[in-house]
Structure 1
Amino acid sequence: MENQIYKYSEEFARELDENDPLRGYRSKFYFPKVNGREAIYFCGNSLGLQPKSVKEYIGKELDNWANLAVDGHFFGEDAWYHIRKKSKPALAAIVGSHEHEVVAMNNLSSNLHFLMVSFYRPTKEKFKIITEAGAFPSDMYMLETQVKFHGLDPNETIIEIHPRSGEHTLRTDDILNTIAEHKDQLALVMMAGLQYYTGQLFDMEAITKAGHEAGANVGFDLAHAAGNAPLRLHDWGVDFAAWCSYKYMNSGPGNISGVFIHERHAESPELPRFAGWWGHDEGERFKMEKGFKPMFGADGWQLANSNVLALAAHQASLDIFEEAGIKNLRAKSELLTGYLEFLIGQISGDSGILEIITPKNKQERGCQLSLLVNKGGKKVFDALYEEGIVGDWRHPNVIRVAPTPLYNSYLDVYQFARILEQSLQKFA
C-alpha cells in the first residue's frame, strides 16, 4: 500500500471498490438525497450517517420500556442498570484503552468541564494552560470559563500555540518547546487530538510525555479523532480525554459522549470531582446514604443514570465498528485520502487554485482533507452541493472533505474530483 499507484479514471476507482474488503458496509447506512439523487456524503466529520440498524436497536429498548417499565432496570436482556457496560469493549478498542478506563455518558462539552474539575487544579505557582490557536469554539469557551471560575485572567493564563508564519499547521517541536518553556507555571495541556479546521492529527504521545515532564496534566478533545485516527490513550499515558459519538461514530445528532480516564487515577481519593449517584459504588448505591464512594475507573465520574435510548443508537454503530475492525478501517482511510490527494493534485497542478492544508504525512492526519480554495471560494462549494456533494465550508475559504471508510467508496472520491474540476473551471 505504501507505493500505491493511482489513476484519474472511473474504471480505476471501480476496480479499487471491487477489491475493497469493507465495501459491504456501505449498504448498512442511509444516504441523504440532494436534488432528488443520492448524495456523495463527505461530511462524517460533522455528522455521521445513520446505520440502518438504529431503528431496531432503539425499538428493542422501547419495547422493554413498554413491557417492563421500571423493571427494565433489572430484568431482561441488557438490563438498564448495567447497560453502560455493553459499549465498553468497542470504545476501548477505538481509543486504545482498558475497558475500565472508558464509559459513555453525558455530552462532550459537559464531560470536558467535569474532567477539568478533576485535572485542572491551578495553584499560585502552576496555573497556565496550553492549547492550540484556532481551537474549536467550544474548547475555547470551556477553557476561558474554567479559568475565570478559578478567579484567573484568561489572557494571562491560556497560552495558544500558533503555526509559524506562512504555515497552516503546528510543528510538533514548537508544541514541545512551548511546554518546556512554561513548565514552571504549567498546570494543564488541553488540546484537540485532531484539529477540526486543518485536519492535523497531533502527536499525542509526545505531547503527553512533555506535559508530564513539565509536571502538568494532559487531556485531549477527541471529537474529530475518535473513530477516525489510531489511538493508544492508555499506552501514551494520557490523563483524560473525551469525545462525541455523532461524527465518525455515527450515533445520531447530539448523541452521547464518552470519556477516558487513565487507570492510575482510578482510585485517587485526593482527586476532586463533581459527583452523582451513578458514579457511586453500585454495590451500595441503593442504600441512599451520605458519603460518596466512587466506582473504580472511569465509571466513578458518572453522574446520572444511563441514557438508554442514546446508548442504543450508539451501540448500533459500535457493533459495526467491532465487526469491521479498527485496523481495517484505518487501512482503507489511508487509501481513500491518498487517492483524494492524488486527484486534487491532478486537478490543480501548479495553478495555485487549490492547496491542501492538511499534513501530507498520513501519520499526521485522519480521513479529512481541508482544501484551501484560492479562487472561486464559496461559489465552488455551492456548485459542489448542487451536484450532490455534501461537504463542509469553513470561512474564509476552506472546504473540508472527509471520505469515511465505513461508508464511502473510491468511486465517491473519483466523482467528487470530477465535479470539483468542473466547478473550478466555471468559477475559479
Structure 2
Amino acid sequence: MTSTENEAHRRDGADPGHRHLFHVPPADGGRYPESAYLAGNSLGLQPRATRTELLADLDAWSRLGVEGHLEAERPWLPYHGLLTAPAARLVGARPSETVVMNSLTVNLHLLMVSFYRPAGERTRIVIEDTAFPSDSYAVRSQARFHGLDPDTTVVRLRPRDGEENLRTEDVTAFLAAEGHTVALVLLGGVNYLTGELLDIPAITAAGRAAGAVVGWDLAHAAGNVPLSLHDWDVDFAAWCSYKYLNSGPGALAGVFVHERHHGDTGLPRFEGWWSTAADTRFEMTPVSRPPATVEAWQISNPPIFAMGPVRTSLELFDAVGMPALRDRSLRLTGYLERLLDEVTADRPLTVVTPRDPARRGCQLSVRIGTGNANELTKRLRHEHGVIADAREPDIVRFAPVPLYSTYHDCWRVADALAATVEATS
C-alpha cells in the first residue's frame, strides 16, 4: 500500500478520538498488543465507566433493599427517566416521544400492534430484501397474525439488477404507484449487510403521502449517523443499544413514537403496569390511565441493572456530541475506503457500500470473491489481531467506529486483508 503505518500514526496524533474511554480486547494474533476492533456494528466495546456505575447501582441494592426504589442515589422507580432526554437528543426527538425499554424485536412487535392495521386493499408491509432476518420474521408473523399470507403481504424491495443498494427514487416510485396497497413501510435506516444509509426523510414523506404508516429499524443507525425523527415526521422507530451505543450484549432498546399519535385512544396497544401514568401507578386501580406520551407503550417495570450501561453510554454521546462523531466518522471511514481501494484493486474483493459518504455510516462491507467470509475473519483475528464481522456467504463488514477506532486500526485492517487474501488466492 502507498499509505504507510507512520502516516496512520500521524493521523491519530492529529485526530485522536476517545479510545482511552473504552476497554479494547487484547490481540489474539499478530504483532500488536491490542486488537484492531472493527466489529462495533455488531457489538460495541465496553466503556471504562460502565463497571463503576453498574457496581454503584448494585451497591444500592445491597445497602437499601426495597427502599432503593426511592432512596438510592439514582432511585429505581423513576430510573428510566434518566435515559429519556439523552436518548431523545441522540435520535432527534422530543423527550415525550422517546423511551428505553425491552429489546428491539419485542419493541417492533409492540409498535406494530398499534401501527400495522391492515384493512381493505391496504394490507402490505414493505421491507428491503436484505432486511435483517429478525425483521423479516417479525413482519411475516404479523401478517400471519392478521390472517394474511406473508408471501404476498410482505413486499421485499430489491436493488436494480447488477447493483448492490436501493435507490431512493425506486423506493419512492414504488410507493407512488403501489402505496394505496401499503399499510406499513418498515425499513432499516442503515442496512445491516451493505451499510447503506437510506434517505429517511424522503422515503418517510413518500410513504406518508401514499397513506401508509412509516416506521424505521434504526439498529445500525442510532449512534452511527445524525437523526431527526421528529422533524422528519417519522411515525415510529425502534433501535437497539448494543452496537454503536456500547451498552453491552442484548442491552435494552429504544422506541420513538411521534407526538401526533400520543393520546390517540383509537390506537390498539398492549398494556401493563408501566403503561399507566406514573402519578397514578400506586393507586393500584384495575383500569390503566395511560399518559399522552410514548410511555403509554411501556408494559413492565424497567430492569435497573440493564438500564445502567445504557445511561452510561448515553452520557458519553451527550459529552462528545453526534455532530463531532459524524465528522470524525467521515474522516475515518474515508481513510479506510482509500486503503481498501488499494487492496481490492488486484484482488477478488469488492466494496459493496455506497461510495457517497452521505449514503453510508461508518461501515464498509467487502464481498469476498472466493466466498467463505467466516474463514477469512477467523484468519484476520488469529493471524493479525483484526476483529471484523462476517455475514455468510461472502460479506465481511468493517466498522471504524469514531468513538474508539483509530487510523492505525484501519491501516492494520487493510494490511491484514491484503496479506490474508494474497495468501489464499
| Residues 132-161 of structure 1, C-alpha deviations (whole Å, 9 max, x = no match) | 002111000000000100001111211110
In the alignment, structure 1 residue 205 sits paired with structure 2 residue 201: yes
How far apart, CA to CA, are the structure 2 residues paired with 1:292 and 1:214?
Answer: 34
Residue 362 of structure 2: aligned partner: 367
How far apart, CA to CA, are the structure 1 residues paired with 2:101 and 2:112?
Answer: 16
| Native 8 Å contact 1:130 1:179 kept in 2 | no
How far apart, CA to CA, are the structure 2 residues paired with 1:394 and 1:124?
Answer: 39
How far apart, CA to CA, are the structure 1 residues paired with 2:151 and 2:188?
Answer: 20
How far apart, CA to CA, are the structure 1 residues paired with 2:361 and 2:68?
Answer: 40
TM-score, reference length from structure 2: 0.96
Residue 221 of structure 2: aligned partner: 225
Deviation at 1:300, TM superposition (A): 1.2
Deviation at 1:89, TM superposition (A): 2.2
How far apart, CA to CA, are the structure 2 residues paired with 1:201 and 1:396?
Answer: 22
Residue 148 of structure 2: aligned partner: 152
Q: 1:411 aligns with which of 408, 415, 423?
A: 408
Structure 1: stretches of 5+ with no match in the other structure = 1-5
How far apart, CA to CA, are the structure 2 residues paired with 1:216 and 1:348?
Answer: 42
How far apart, CA to CA, are the structure 1 residues paired with 2:351 and 2:72?
Answer: 52
Deviation at 1:352, TM superposition (A): 5.5
**Partner secondary structure for residue 129 of structure 1:** strand
**Partner secondary structure for residue 147 of structure 2:** coil
| Native 8 Å contact 1:118 1:273 kept in 2 | yes
Residue 240 of structure 1: aligned partner: 236
| Native 8 Å contact 2:60 2:73 kept in 1 | no
**Partner secondary structure for residue 274 of structure 1:** coil
How far apart, CA to CA, are the structure 2 residues paired with 1:63 and 1:205?
Answer: 45
What's the C-alpha RMSD, in Å, of the aligned pairs? 1.5
Residue 18 of structure 1: aligned partner: 13
Residue 3 of structure 1: aligned partner: none
In the alignment, structure 1 residue 28 sits paired with structure 2 residue 21: yes
| Residues 192-221 of structure 1, C-alpha deviations (whole Å, 9 max, x = no match) | 111100111111101110111111100011
Residue 127 of structure 1: aligned partner: 123
User: Match of 1:29, as an amino acid?
Assistant: F
How far apart, CA to CA, are the structure 1 residues paired with 2:2 and 2:269?
Answer: 54
How far apart, CA to CA, are the structure 2 residues paired with 1:282 and 1:153?
Answer: 40
Structure 2: stretches of 5+ with no match in the other structure = none
In the alignment, structure 1 residue 382 sits paired with structure 2 residue 378: yes
In the alignment, structure 1 residue 356 sits paired with structure 2 residue 315: no
How far apart, CA to CA, are the structure 1 residues paired with 2:68 and 2:301?
Answer: 13
Q: 1:421 aligns with which of 418, 421, 425?
A: 418
In the alignment, structure 1 residue 391 sits paired with structure 2 residue 388: yes
How far apart, CA to CA, are the structure 1 residues paired with 2:324 and 2:156?
Answer: 35
Comparing 133-142 with 82-91, which one deviates more in the overlay?
82-91
Give every structure 1 segment of 4 or more consecutive aligned residues whose post-TM-superposition deviation is greater than 6 Å.
none
Deviation at 1:354, TM superposition (A): 1.6
Residue 136 of structure 2: aligned partner: 140
**Partner secondary structure for residue 241 of structure 1:** strand
| Native 8 Å contact 2:386 2:412 kept in 1 | no
Q: 2:82 aligns with which of 64, 86, 111?
A: 86
How far apart, CA to CA, are the structure 2 residues paired with 1:12 and 1:162?
Answer: 40
| Native 8 Å contact 1:107 1:254 kept in 2 | yes
**Partner secondary structure for residue 197 of structure 2:** coil
Comparing 85-94 with 147-156, which one deviates more in the overlay?
85-94
**Partner secondary structure for residue 235 of structure 1:** coil
| Native 8 Å contact 2:196 2:354 kept in 1 | yes
Please list, as runs of the form range in 1=range in 2, the aligned pairs for 1:275-290 lying within 5 A after superposition.
275-290=271-286
Q: 1:323 aligns with which of 319, 323, 326?
A: 319
How far apart, CA to CA, are the structure 2 residues paired with 1:232 and 1:315?
Answer: 21
**Partner secondary structure for residue 104 of structure 1:** strand
**Partner secondary structure for residue 220 of structure 1:** strand
Percentage identity across paired residues of the two chains: 43
| Native 8 Å contact 1:380 1:427 kept in 2 | no
Residue 181 of structure 2: aligned partner: 185
In the alignment, structure 1 residue 53 sits paired with structure 2 residue 49: yes
| Native 8 Å contact 2:377 2:387 kept in 1 | no
In the alignment, structure 1 residue 342 sits paired with structure 2 residue 338: yes
Deviation at 1:7, TM superposition (A): 6.4
Deviation at 1:348, TM superposition (A): 2.4
How far apart, CA to CA, are the structure 2 residues paired with 1:250 and 1:382?
Answer: 23
